Structure 1
Amino acid sequence: MQITTEVFGKVLVAHTPDELTDDTSGDFVHALSDAINEQHYQVVLQMDRSDLLDSAGLTALLDLQDLTREHGGNLKISGLEEPGKKILEMTRLDQRIDIFDSVIEAVSSFQ
């Protein structure tokens, strides 16, 4: 899976796929794990394109957060649209993962 990423200082911004589901989440976690293990411990997931998020996608978010925290970093989300925000609220993941409206806000929150 090809993932579009950008680096702002020490923060890696990764653009999530259109669907973060059982079909895509494993490859997404694997690809991002490689980047995290290359010393990018501060990660922002830009989720503005993600229209579909299922339980495997939620698990992927938690797995990535655990991985970044193991290295002393953190995972944050930006650009999540209303359906995704509702899902995170209902599952209470919004209490575990910081959510920001914009990439700039999310990246700035690390400093």
Structure 2
Amino acid sequence: MPIHSSQTGNITQVQIEDRLEADTAQEFRDAMAQLADAGKIMLVLDFSKVSFMDSSGLGCIVSALRQFRQKDGDIKLACITDDIRPLIEIVRLNRVFDIYDSVEEAVKSFD
């Protein structure tokens, strides 16, 4: 699972590709831990290239949110695909995360 990150000011944009599931969960957790340890605690997770997410993936993003909020950071979700939107809504994570249609909107929301 490729994970790419870039910076816009103090906001880190993270693009996840392909699948966020049990097989890729540890890679995602490691990437989030590295960002948190580096002090990059304001994140936008770009889901535009995520084709599948299971309960392990959901657990990963909730765990990351908890980790970043403990450091006074936050995570916002952007570009949720039609493939994973129903899953996020069924477990009501749309009430936990701020979700935006674009990465740009999510970055601006930190202001």
> What's the TM-score bracket when you normalise by the shorter of the two chains?
over 0.9
**Do the aligned residues in 1 keep the contact of 2:21 with 2:52 (CA within 8 Å)?**
yes
Residue 59 of structure 2 corresponds to: 59
Provide TM-score, normalisation by structure 2.
Answer: 0.95
Q: Unaligned regions of 5+ residues in structure 1, if any?
A: none
Q: Tell me, what secondary structure is at the counterpart of 1:22?
A: coil
Distance of 2:36 and 2:106 partners within structure 1: 17
Distance 2:36 2:107 in 1: 16
> What percent of counterpart residues are identical?
28
Please state whether the residue corresponding to 2:17 is helix, strand or coil.
coil
Cα separation, 2, equivalents of 1:19 and 1:101: 19
**CA RMSD, Structure 1 to Structure 2 (Å):** 1.1
C-alpha distance after superposition, 1:12-68 (max 9, x if no partner): 101113100000011111112111221111000001000000000000010110111
Distance, in Å, in 1 between the alignment partners of 2:63 and 2:38 is 17
Q: Are 2:46 and 2:79, in contact at CA under 8 Å, matched by a contact in 1?
A: yes
Of Structure 1 and Structure 2, the greater strand share is in: 2
